[in-house]
Amino acid sequence: MRTFVSGLVFMLVAVGALAVPPGPAAAGTSRPGHEGSLPGSFTWSSSGPLISPKPDAAHPILSVKDPTVFRYRDRWHVYFTTADTAGRWSLGHTSFTEWSEAASAPQTFLDANPNIGDRYAAAPQVFYFAPQRTWYMVYQTGPPSYSTTKDPSDPLSWSAPRDFFGSEPPIVTENKGDGAWLDFWTICDRTDCYLFFSDGNGHQYRSRTSLAAFPNGFRDTAIVLSEPNRFDLFEAGNVYRLGDGSGYLMLVEALATGSDWRRWFRAWRADSLGGAWTPLADTEANPFARSSNVTFEAGQPAWTRDFSHGEMIRAGVDQTLTIDPCRLRFLYQGMDPAASGEYYRLPWRPALLTQTNSTC
């Protein structure tokens, strides 16, 4: 989602341990015969908040937002956006073996990495780019940027950010209005890599480059989804490969302008990353994830009515971003419904959604 949203995480069941180094084979763990088995409507169960801010004297943070999550060396790793009392945005990392340990796990702030420093940085996405045997963190420093490492478990090892583009594509400048390009998301197929992003003004974009040229050469930026109401297609876009490649799922965050103005997710499907996107669960009456189709675990109060920027639990770590459609889990950011005030002061927390109506 936007650089300003803290992180609550929807999660579904844990993924098994990955071999080191990970490779393309690690991404395909879905069950044969169920690669495209998504229902036409969804129901979920949510955990309570799993990760909360751990401020210190130098980091008076209020929010943990925009989580990206992966399993590496028998541990969960979560990178996230932080927002502090002065309105500054940066990145953080935490790691733990089981989700029950998430609340007590230490947090590292990436401004301690001299390559990152105290620059504005937000909305991370982390994946393993198998052709180069290198990990990438895609995030926003204003424009879309990336850092690399050979060891994502060490948050101080990331390289200095480099930009994907020399300048903003003209189609973005012409259509963003008073918005800005944001929430950058990378996914690849066998020949090409695609960069998806939003503009906060009702448009979802796609750029592409070849697999061999990545991370260079992004071009052909085009609008793939558009809405006249900017809040119906707002931010926090995610794209995933379903199972062993029988299609793709796109999620985009919206605001419920027809009712309570809470944050929720819409969903579309496509046969290919370069193809057209068709609605799957994209209305307030039939949402992908919203307060109307989420219940809470036994004994857990309905602590949020917002379901905002996060990431699906992947079946691997590589650039294909494969998910198991039989075991959908989503780490999202939520917020106390009574909270109010300046946007950067809102207390976002990650939590876990688990699908309760799988068709498999």
Mean pLDDT of 229-239: 97
What's the rounded Cα separation, in Å, for the pair 349 and 100? 15
Q: What span, in angstroms and rounded, lies between the C-alpha atoms of 321 and 343?
A: 31
Beta-carbon-side half-sphere exposure of residue 99 (alpha carbons within 13 Å): 19
Provide the whole-model pTM.
0.91
Query: Which is nearest to 127 in space by CA: 147, 106, 157, 98?
Result: 147
| Residue 178 structure tokens | 């008073």
Residue 244 confidence (pLDDT): 77
DSSP helix, strand, coil percent of the chain (3-state; round to 5): 10, 40, 50
Is the separation of the CB atoms in 306 and 337 below 8 Å?
A: yes
**Average pLDDT of the chain to the nearest whole number:** 91
- Alpha helices by DSSP H, listed for 82-180, are 170-175
Residue 299's pLDDT is 84
pLDDT for 9 equals 37
**Residue 261, pLDDT score:** 95
Burial class (CB in 10 A: 0-12, 13-18, 19+), 81: buried
Q: List Cβ neighbours of 15 (8 Å cut-off, separation of 6 or more).
A: 29, 71, 313, 314, 315, 316
- Residue 168, exposed/middle/buried by CB under 10 A (0-12, 13-18, 19+)? middle
What pLDDT score does 276 carry?
97
Q: Are strands 248-255 and 235-242 parallel, antiparallel or unpaired?
A: antiparallel
- Quick one: pLDDT band at residue 1, thresholds 50, 70, 90? very low
**How is residue 268 written in tokens?**
């579309």
Mean pLDDT computed over 181-192: 98
Report the C-alpha gap between 43 and 350 in whole angstroms: 19
Indicate if the pLDDT at residue 226 is higher than 50: yes
- pLDDT digits 0-9 by tens, 316-348: 999 999 999 999 999 999 999 988 888 778 899
- How many CB atoms within 10 Å of residue 57? 5
pLDDT-derived band at 36, boundaries 50, 70, 90: low
How does residue 294 score in pLDDT terms, banded at 50, 70 and 90?
very high
Above 90 in pLDDT, residue 204? yes
For residue range 126-161, list pLDDT tens digits in order. Answer: 999 999 999 999 999 999 999 999 999 999 999 999
Summarize the confidence of residues 281-302 as an average pLDDT. Answer: 95
| Distance between CA atoms of residues 286 and 147, nearest Å | 38
Q: Enter the DSSP assignment of 131.
A: G
Question: 3-class SS at 156?
Answer: helix
What are the structure tokens assigned to 272, written together?
């290919």
* β-sheet with 219-226: strand ranges across: 182-188, 192-198, 203-210, 219-226
**DSSP per position, 23-38:** -GGGG--SPTT-TT--
- What does the DSSP assignment read for 106-120? -EEEGGGSTTTTTS-
Q: Average the pLDDT over 90-114 and give the result.
A: 98
- With 80 as the cut, is the pLDDT of residue 98 above it? yes
- Mean pLDDT value of segment 251-280: 96
